[in-house]
Amino acid sequence: MSSGASEADAHADVASGLAVPLPVVHKPKVSFCQACGNPTKEVVPDGEEKVRAVCTVCGSIHYENPKMVVGCLVEHNEKILLCKRKIEPSYGLWTLPAGYLEIGESAAEGAVRETLEEACAEVEIVSPFAQLDIPLIGQSYIIFQARLKTPHFSPGPESLECALFALDDIPFDSLAFSSVIVALKMYIEDKNDGNLKFHYCTINKRKGMANHKLKSEPVPPDVLAHQHSRKFC
């Protein structure tokens, strides 16, 4: 399943430890009630502070929540499995196998499923590696460290190609999304330090900016509003 939405068209804002203003989030308008199909209107419901889409007939309030994206950072023989996208956004660019979590599955189950769908690879979850929140586009990523159960993989319906890359050969100039760039940069730093950790960070973005800074720095400090790391137990 595709993920990324407008992420490919945005760049992280600079965060220097000072308070970072909340980004303006552009949410899709809910024009019709999902319960009865009648028109909605945007009002502030009683007892709330934010404008919501409220049905003009049945009164249902429609809450818009962030989407959860899950994926795997698959290591095999000191190399990382990447998929070249066959779909938009970011057609032809490389990414970790990842996509939207489905109702009824855990984050780990969804990450394993997405890896099977995009890379035809059966994997075993080793541990959680990173959670990356992107408020501007309403997405939260959970990336798991994983390993191949068997050394077999091939492109799924959404991939042009799948390949294993040594850490020094990862094509940072051709990666699809800022979340993938940040996750891989953190992983390489951890491997160089000999200390894999769990990472949490927020990626602050401005619409319409490129990802060039993300690709040219180590773990780019300008993409993180804050970052917390903890050694795996």
Compute CA distances 168 → 21, 147, 164, 171, 192, whole Å.
Answer: 35, 19, 12, 9, 11
Same domain, 170 and 91: yes
Which pLDDT value is given to residue 207? 56
pTM of the full structure: 0.81
Same domain, 49 and 153: no
> DSSP letter string over 197-217?
EEEEEEE-EEET--SHHHHHS
Helix (H) or strand (E) holding 5: none
Same domain, 38 and 117: no
Q: In what order do the strands lie in the sheet with 52-55?
A: 40-43, 52-55, 61-62
Q: Which two structure tokens, joined as six digits, stand for 125?
A: 């979850």
Which pLDDT value is given to residue 17? 33
The reply to whether 23 falls in a domain is no
Angstrom distance (rounded) from CA 176 to CA 15 = 22
Amino acid at 36: C
Per-residue pLDDT of the chain in tens (233 residues, 90 and over written 9): 555 544 554 333 323 333 345 555 666 789 999 999 999 999 999 999 999 999 999 999 999 899 999 999 999 999 999 999 999 999 999 999 999 999 999 999 999 999 999 999 999 999 999 999 999 899 999 999 999 999 999 999 999 999 999 999 999 999 999 999 999 999 999 999 999 999 999 998 665 544 544 554 555 544 554 566 665 43
Same domain, 38 and 86: no
Same domain, 83 and 189: yes
The reply to whether 86 falls in a domain is yes
Same domain, 57 and 148: no
Domain around 144:
5-14+65-231
Same domain, 136 and 38: no
The reply to whether 21 falls in a domain is no
CATH assignment of the domain containing 134: 3.90.79.10
Which pLDDT value is given to residue 204? 84
Is residue 178 a contact partner of residue 214, using CB atoms and an 8 Å limit?
Answer: yes
* Residue reference for tokens 């050694």: 231
Beta bridge partners of 202: 133
Classify residue 4 as left (phi > 0), alpha (psi -120 to 50) or beta. left
CATH assignment of the domain containing 57: 2.20.70.10
Which pLDDT value is given to residue 29? 85
